[in-house]
Amino acid sequence: MTVKLYLKDLEHGYYRRFDATVTEVDGDNVALDRTLFYPLGGGQHWDTGELLGPNGPVDVVEVRGRDTVHHTLKAGHQLQVGDEVRGTIDWETRYARMRMHTAQHLVSGLAYELFNGVRTVGNQIHADRSRIDFNPISFEEPMLQLLVDAANQRIDEGLEVSEAVMTREEINAIMPPERTNMDLLPESVKQLRVVQIGEKIDMCPCAGTHVTNLAELGHVEFLGKKSKGKGTQRFSYRLDTAKHLRTFSDTVL
């Protein structure tokens, strides 16, 4: 089991460096007792960076896993179980994905309200551009403009982003289960980390990394739509440069 430091609270998404101990080694895959590296999941790509161990720095090129997080390193890392390492996240890419993922929550929440409960049925979060799959819907140009304008209005308002730990029953009493995609979460998961934008502009269970204020996003720029069949349409977007960007914390966790 790996302690996921980025899940402690939203502020921990802004940390870049941490100390840890190697717990498993399987070829180029190394597990740690704790990590700031986000593993692939929830539509969000993994973090990259480096681990500094007894034999010098080595690049982290892939991160996967749910309970135990495995960091794939470049060949020849020479790390062994028990070694102490210092991890460093590629901040520019991490922060870009934090902004993108928060924008996805905003756009998904607004689309649900504006277009008769349309569901978000998929998403892919990258640093330079991202996409959201909606169903059922057929976007017309005025609808797309309405959605983008609504998102950018909320961004200009600088709404706060917060989180809370809630049970299924607690969040279902506030948000419809189809909005939160509750059916996609394993029944074994009872306590949910719920990310909220403003006063319930959006509330959604999520283990991804997010910013703490929409002002950090920059405006949403619509890139295009694509039909994915059976009433599903893909909304692609990127983010303009924000005026209120934050930097990482120099503290080592």
Q: Check which CATH number belongs to the domain holding 135 and give it.
A: 3.30.980.10
Residues 68 and 102 in one domain: no
Taking the model in full, what pTM does it have?
Answer: 0.95
Q: What is the mean pLDDT of the chain?
A: 94
Residues 135 and 58 in one domain: no
Domain CATH for 43: 2.40.30.130
pLDDT digits (tens, 9 = 90+) for 199-248: 889 999 999 999 999 999 999 999 999 999 889 999 999 999 998 999 99
Query: Does the pLDDT of residue 186 top 80, yes or no?
Result: no
Q: Which domain holds residue 164?
A: 94-239
Where among 58, 89, 120 does a domain terminate?
Answer: 89
Instruction: Determine which helix (DSSP H) or strand (DSSP E) holds 112, and give its type and residue range.
Output: helix 91-114
Position 74 in a domain: yes
Where among 89, 120, 149 does a domain terminate?
Answer: 89
pLDDT digits (tens, 9 = 90+) for 2-22: 999 999 999 999 999 999 999
Residues 144 and 224 in one domain: yes
Residues 77 and 114 in one domain: no
Residues 126 and 186 in one domain: yes
Residues 145 and 110 in one domain: yes
Residues 120 and 98 in one domain: yes
Share of the chain above pLDDT 90, in %: 85
pLDDT digits (tens, 9 = 90+) for 81-109: 999 999 999 999 999 999 999 999 999 99
Name residues whose C-beta falls within 8 Å of residue 29's C-beta, 6 or more positions apart in sequence.
70, 71, 72, 73
Q: How many domains does the chain have?
A: 2
Instruction: Determine which helix (DSSP H) or strand (DSSP E) holds 26, and give its type and residue range.
Output: strand 15-26
Position 245 in a domain: no
Q: Which of 216, 181, 180 is nearest to 200 (CA)?
A: 180
